[in-house]
């Protein structure tokens, strides 16, 4: 799916003794016509699938042929972003006693990383311009919660490592069964190389983040579990469990992924969990 920002940016100058000539703005196939009022620059933001557009004009954005960058930024912030968010399911809040954060409800969302710059440059260029915004399988948060945190998306059974506003690693999970999930902000409370669960099974590179009164035990991030059978032989949880909700609260992953997290995250670092 593509979002199309169709931008018609046409500068027309009136020389002495000449009448002003107006070039009709570019139109996007299958959407409403651009309003017919006289505008030097018109910007249409369109979702091509639902054929619905939001219109921007240069009113208040250009003064004496100079584009007001702050005004464009505010216009995009107030008008374009709410429109786009509505078309793609919007955002919501995950909250608990430790804090809250905003995340996208849907997994496939538009790439808005350059929206402000692209719209500003289009107005500034004075040329007919079309900006295509692709949709991608993005994390739900934007990396601004803190300098370093873990984001867990239960709906995708995926974990994102955010450092300095960028995703540096994505990890596939085996998360909690339905009814055992928790949502919100969770600091890492404790760590252990290979503690033993109440079930007698080992949890490599364990990092605890939530105490469950219901189960009288801690939820943690850790590698796939292992245990000894009746003959004293080690038995390992199969890697095919990755991507399947199987636990009673813990979040499991491959051994090397769990080791990676254990080595770069410390007590007090935050885990953000949402659906």
Q: How many Å apart are CA 165 and CA 147, to the nearest integer?
A: 7
Q: What is the pLDDT of residue 48?
A: 58
For residue 62, which of 42, 82, 45 has the smallest C-alpha distance?
42
- Fold exhibited by the domain 148-274: L,D-transpeptidase catalytic domain-like (2.40.440)
Q: What is the pLDDT of residue 118?
A: 87
Where is pLDDT greater, at 194 or 28?
194
Find where tokens 């584009």 sit.
67
Q: What is the pLDDT of residue 36?
A: 41
Q: How many Å apart are CA 179 and CA 29, to the nearest integer?
A: 47
- Length of the chain equals 275
Mean pLDDT of 211-225: 95
> What pLDDT digit, counting tens, does each position of 67-118 carry?
999 999 999 999 989 988 988 899 999 999 999 999 999 999 988 888 899 8
Q: How many Å apart are CA 161 and CA 127, to the nearest integer?
A: 40
Mean pLDDT across the chain, nearest whole number? 85
Q: What is the pLDDT of residue 62?
A: 87
Per-domain residue ranges of the chain: 2-137, 148-274
Where is pLDDT greater, at 138 or 59?
138
Where is pLDDT greater, at 71 or 1?
71
| Strand intervals (E) in 111-174 | 129-137, 148-153, 158-163, 166-172
Q: Record the pTM.
A: 0.80
């Amino acid at each position: 799916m593509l979002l199309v920002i169709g931008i018609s940016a046409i500068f027309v100058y009136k020389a002495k003794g000449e009448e002003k000539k107006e070039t009709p703005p570019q139109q996007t196939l299958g959407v409403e016509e651009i309003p017919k009022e006289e505008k030097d620059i018109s910007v249409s933001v369109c979702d091509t699938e639902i054929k619905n557009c939001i219109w921007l004009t240069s009113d208040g954005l250009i003064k004496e042929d100079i584009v007001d960058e702050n005004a464009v930024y505010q216009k995009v912030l107030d008008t374009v972003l709410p429109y786009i968010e509505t078309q793609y399911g919007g955002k919501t809040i995950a909250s608990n006693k430790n804090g809250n954060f905003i995340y996208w409800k849907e997994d496939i969302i538009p790439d808005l990383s350059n929206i402000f710059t692209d719209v500003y440059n289009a107005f500034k260029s004075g040329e007919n311009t079309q900006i295509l915004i692709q949709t991608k399988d993005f994390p739900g948060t934007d990396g601004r919660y803190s300098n370093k945190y873990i984001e867990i998306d239960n709906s995708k059974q995926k974990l994102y490592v955010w450092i300095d506003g960028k995703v540096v690693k994505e990890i596939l999970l085996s998360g909690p069964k339905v009814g055992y999930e928790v949502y919100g902000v969770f600091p890492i409370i404790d760590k252990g190389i290979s503690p033993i669960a109440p079930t007698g099974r080992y949890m490599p590179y364990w990092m605890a983040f939530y105490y469950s009164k219901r189960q009288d035990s801690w939820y943690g991030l850790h590698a796939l579990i292992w245990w000894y059978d009746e003959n004293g032989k080690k038995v390992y949880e199969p890697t095919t469990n990755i991507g399947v909700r199987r636990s009673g609260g813990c979040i499991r992953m491959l051994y090397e992924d769990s080791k990676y997290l254990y080595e770069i995250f410390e007590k007090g670092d935050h885990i953000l969990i949402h659906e």
